[in-house]
Amino acid sequence: MARSRVGQVAVVTGASSGIGWELARQLAAEGAKVALVARRAEPLQELQKLITEAGGTAMIAVADVGSREQVEALFRSVAEQLGPIDLVIANAGVGRPTFLDPVNMTDVEDTFRINLMGVIYTLSAALPTMLARKSGHLVAISSLASYRGLPGESAYCASKAAVNVYLDGLRIHLHNTGVRVTTVCPGFVTTPMTVANTFHMPGLMTAEYAARKILRAIGRGTKVYNFPWRLCMMVKLSRWMPDWVMLRFMDDYNTDAAKPHSAKNDA
């Protein structure tokens, strides 16, 4: 049975757009007090205004989740302004293609810094207080891309796969502590990270729809939530396909990945 969110304190990273924006908006609409976290202040201010005008409560915390010091500082600020934190959704992430010649090493390193270390910094900052209270919920937004390496997306897929494994271990480690852990792996969602994609995106969802599904799964205490299920089955089955079959199916996917183009981010 889903728990009421009225009065809960929730932190959502990557709240400046896409899934993060919708998660924060919907949490506030359900009565939660929400901390909006991202690197860009202006869209956070816009979202805060939207929430407060609807009668909700939200605060802004501008921070780069790839900086441990900034993350720890923002959690102290949230606790001081809103109270003990009940729910953390580590949603901030970037999507940048992996080039071949030369390898865009700075982008690769930045992808892991934000997508993996940003999740670890975020969840770890909330953990001590949750353990002391014997209550709390840690959530990370991963991706169905975590289940299969894709051409031109090696760093992105690997960073999300690492998130899955890290949360698996964390969830087992936290057994009987009162702190729950949920890994969310969505498929294609209409966000700034996917708007530049020119290839077909099966099962494409709106951010509003995806956020609603995610919050339901969180409310149920789901351990790992993969959706939409048809795309999930396709991705998992693809792990058993020979490389030549994958190439045939994905001949239009990141065909220009060897050349620099615009980075996509939702951090």
The CATH number covering residue 187 comes to 3.40.50.720
Phi, psi dihedrals of residue 3, rounded to the nearest 5°:
-85, 150
265 lies in some domain: no
pTM: 0.90
Would you say residue 234 has pLDDT above 90? no
Radius of gyration of the chain (CA): 18
218 lies in some domain: yes
101 lies in some domain: yes
Pick the catalytic residue from 121, 147, 156, 253.
156
| Domain count across the chain | 1
Q: How far is CA 230 from the centre of its chain?
A: 21
Would you say residue 25 has pLDDT above 50? yes
CA dihedral 116, 152, 96, 193 (to 10 degrees): -100
- Check if 156 is active-site: yes
Beta-carbon contacts of residue 267 (< 8 Å; ≥ 6 apart):
13, 14, 16, 38, 39, 64, 65, 92, 93, 94, 114, 118
Token pair in block for residue 142? 């991963």
264 lies in some domain: no
Residue 166, domain extent = 9-230+239-257
207 lies in some domain: yes
Q: Are 80 and 35 in contact (CB under 8 A)?
A: no
SS3 221: coil
Distance CA 126, CA 135 (A): 11
244 lies in some domain: yes
- Return mean pLDDT, the chain: 90
Would you say residue 257 has pLDDT above 60? no
User: Which regions of 71-178 does DSSP assign to beta strands (E)?
Assistant: 87-90, 93-95, 136-141
What is the arithmetic mean of pLDDT over 45-54? 98
What is the arithmetic mean of pLDDT over 138-159? 94
266 lies in some domain: no
Which single residue is written with the structure tokens 């058993």?
A: 240
Phi, psi dihedrals of residue 102, rounded to the nearest 5°:
-85, 165
pLDDT digits (tens, 9 = 90+) for 91-126: 999 999 999 999 999 999 999 999 999 999 999 999
Q: pLDDT tier at 79 (50, 70, 90 boundaries)? A: very high
Token pair in block for residue 95? 């999507």
Least confident of 90-94, 102-106, 178-182, 225-229: 225-229
Q: Are 94 and 65 in contact (CB under 8 A)?
A: no
What is the arithmetic mean of pLDDT over 243-253? 69
187 lies in some domain: yes
Q: pLDDT tier at 256 (50, 70, 90 boundaries)? A: low
